[in-house]
């Protein structure tokens, strides 16, 4: 009995399949938008510990590399995470349409200014805004001076390896250590105190 004939995959078919995969993953992320999200777990030797405050941390030496996020900021200028290697980087996923993002924004602005001299760089990842106009208005309203990736479809969020401390909600915050590895993650809006509690131990590392 002959095997069933298979339809050959054309480049167009492959592109459509890739778009469907990205779309499904972004849709899954959207389900936790402006919420506390879920908890990450599973394999890949994540080795993270989650505190009672919902902040997950990984010991130095057991961390995974952060993806080298490459894109453009809200002004269309090139933005690359690896350019900040040697600094502690705070990545905050946000959208102008997201009330919890608006609630935490003043806390991020305050801590970003206070920690700049300690070698800390804040970067935003703006997602699901259909144009840069509302995102720019958000930054103007809260006096945000650090840059944000413009990531309307969530492609950059999907760059994080499954099983690591990846962003799973909007807002999410990830701390990347000086070696470019993921040290901590929160899947909920942060107070100034919570943000400092998450950031300070990584800044203090030698």
Name residue, tokens 């935490």. 104
- Residue 54: per-residue pLDDT: 83
Query: Taking each helix axis from N to C terminus, what angle separates 132-142 and 99-115, rounded to the nearest 10 degrees?
Result: 60
What percent of the chain is modeled with pLDDT above 70?
A: 77
Asked whether the predicted pLDDT for residue 144 surpasses 90, the reply is yes
Asked whether the predicted pLDDT for residue 21 surpasses 60, the reply is no
Q: Are 111 and 175 in contact (CB under 8 A)?
A: no
pLDDT per position as a tens digit, 22-53: 444 444 454 455 754 434 443 445 577 887 67
- Residue 38: per-residue pLDDT: 39
The alpha-helical segments, DSSP class H, found in the chain are 11-30, 99-115, 132-142, 192-203
Name residue, tokens 């490459």. 70
CA distances for 172 relative to 79, 177, 182, angstroms: 19, 17, 13
CA distances for 64 relative to 46, 51, 166, angstroms: 8, 19, 10
pLDDT per position as a tens digit, 89-133: 999 999 999 999 999 999 999 999 999 999 999 999 999 999 999
**Using CA atoms in the order 105, 107, 112, 114, what is the torsion angle rounded to 10 degrees?**
150
User: CA 187, CA 2: separation in Å to the nearest integer?
Assistant: 52
Contacts of residue 40, defined as CB under 8 A and 6 or more positions apart, other chains included, come to: 46, 48, 56, 163, 164, 165, 166, 168, 185
Which pTM does this prediction carry?
0.81
Helix (H/G/I), strand (E/B), else coil: 192 = helix
Band (143; pLDDT cuts 50, 70, 90): very high
Mean pLDDT, residues 172-179: 98
User: CA 45, CA 65: separation in Å to the nearest integer?
Assistant: 13
């Amino acid at each position: 009995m002959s095997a069933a004939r298979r339809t050959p995959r054309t480049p167009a078919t492959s592109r459509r399949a890739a778009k469907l995969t990205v779309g499904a993953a972004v849709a899954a992320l959207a389900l936790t938008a402006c919420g506390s999200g879920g908890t990450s777990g599973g394999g890949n030797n994540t080795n993270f510990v989650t505190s009672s405050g919902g902040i997950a941390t990984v010991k130095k030496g057991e961390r995974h590399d952060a993806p080298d996020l490459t894109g453009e900021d809200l002004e269309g200028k090139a933005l690359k995470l690896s350019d900040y290697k040697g600094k502690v980087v705070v990545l905050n996923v946000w959208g102008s349409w997201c009330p919890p993002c608006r609630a935490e924004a003043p806390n991020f602005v305050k801590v970003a200014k206070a920690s700049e001299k300690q070698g800390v760089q804040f970067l935003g990842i703006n997602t699901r805004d259909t144009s840069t106009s509302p995102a720019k208005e958000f930054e103007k309203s809260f006096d945000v001076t650090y840059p944000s990736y413009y990531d309307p479809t969530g492609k950059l969020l999907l760059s994080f390896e499954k099983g690591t401390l990846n962003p799973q909600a909007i807002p999410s915050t990830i701390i990347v250590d000086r070696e470019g590895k993921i040290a901590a993650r929160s899947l909920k809006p942060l107070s100034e105190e919570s943000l400092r509690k998450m950031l300070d131990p990584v800044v203090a590392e030698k």
